[in-house]
Each structure stands twice: as C-alpha cells, then as structure tokens.
Amino acid sequence: GLLIAFQIVAAEVNYGEIAPTLAVSMSDIAPHSASAVRWLMTSSLNGFFVALNATVKYTTPLGDARLSVLESLETHLLSAVVRDFRYDDGVPDFLANDVPDDDNVPDTLHSSASNSVSNVSYIPLAQCSAGAPVWTSAGFTVTLALAASPSANWTYVRCANPVS
C-alpha cells in the first residue's frame, strides 16, 4: 500500500481555534442546539477523500454508555464551510456533496440551526460569466451574469475567476 502522512495544522470548535489534535472535548451542548468541530490537515500526497467513516463514544457522568443523548452521527463530503446568516447561531454550516457526481458539485446545505438540511441548485460554468472586478479600498466587487435563474432557496454557482 501507499504510505500517506497527515498533519493536523489547526482545529476549531464552532469558530473558536483550539489545540490541533483529534481529541476534542465538546463540553456541554444545550438541548436542541448544535456544535461543530473542524480539523485542517495537510497531507504528503495530493488528492481528496471519497468516503468517510466515523464513530462516537458517549458515556454519562455516571459511566453508563447505554444512556447516550446522541441521536445520530453522519459524515458528509464537505465542499465548503459557510454561514447561514438567516439563522446564524454561531456554529458553522456546511455545503456538502451528498449525491456524488463527476464534477463534485455541492448539492446540500447542512445548517446547524435546528439541524436543518436544504437542497442546493446548481448553475454550471457554461451558464455564468463574470464581469471585470471593480476595486475599492475594501477589496473588489464582481458582477455575475447568469443564463439561468437561481432558485428561491440556495444556489451554487461555478464561474470562471475574473481576478486570476
């Protein structure tokens, strides 16, 4: 087999930086709320994950693992960490590719607020053109011209980088 070395370079609980280790304490999570852990890693080999497996162990303060308060554990192929400002709870939200495809297009928004999941529509590169960037002291603005209408909920747009 091929040997690959991984190094954790940073870790976060919600948006707060913590020590870069896999052993993370989530502390208390209030009922009907969420918390997220994020690890940033480097690898000795370029590539991407195509599948993930995860396990969780919960033990009550009295040492009884049979009385878990966790309902489920799921993994998703992450496309980007995003922030759903409509329901911002201070916990990261995730754009994921839950339905695998050849172009790795994200299709689902996992919002930490009420553990909701939303479908994401897609406007491909061929239906998007970007205008020239307009530079200001705060950065730049780019206007996109779309040949398709974005959905009423969430839309992922893939467009050529006008700044490269």
**For 106-156, how does the pLDDT look when each residue is reduced to its tens digit (9 = 90+)?**
999 999 887 788 999 999 888 988 888 888 898 888 888 999 888 878 899
Give the span between the Cα atoms of 86 and 15, in whole angstroms: 17
146 contacts: CB under 8 Å, gap ≥ 6: 123, 127, 128, 157
Q: Are the CB atoms for 117 and 110 separated by under 8 Å?
A: yes
Confidence band of 8 (pLDDT split at 50, 70, 90): very high
DSSP string over 78-117: EEEEE--GGG--SS-EEEE--S--TT----EEEETGGGEE
Rg over alpha carbons for the chain, rounded to the nearest Å, is 19
What is the pTM for the complete model shown?
Answer: 0.74
Kindly report the average pLDDT of the chain as a whole number. Answer: 85
Encode pLDDT of 52-108 as tens digits: 778 877 777 787 777 777 777 778 888 899 988 888 888 999 999 999 888 889 999
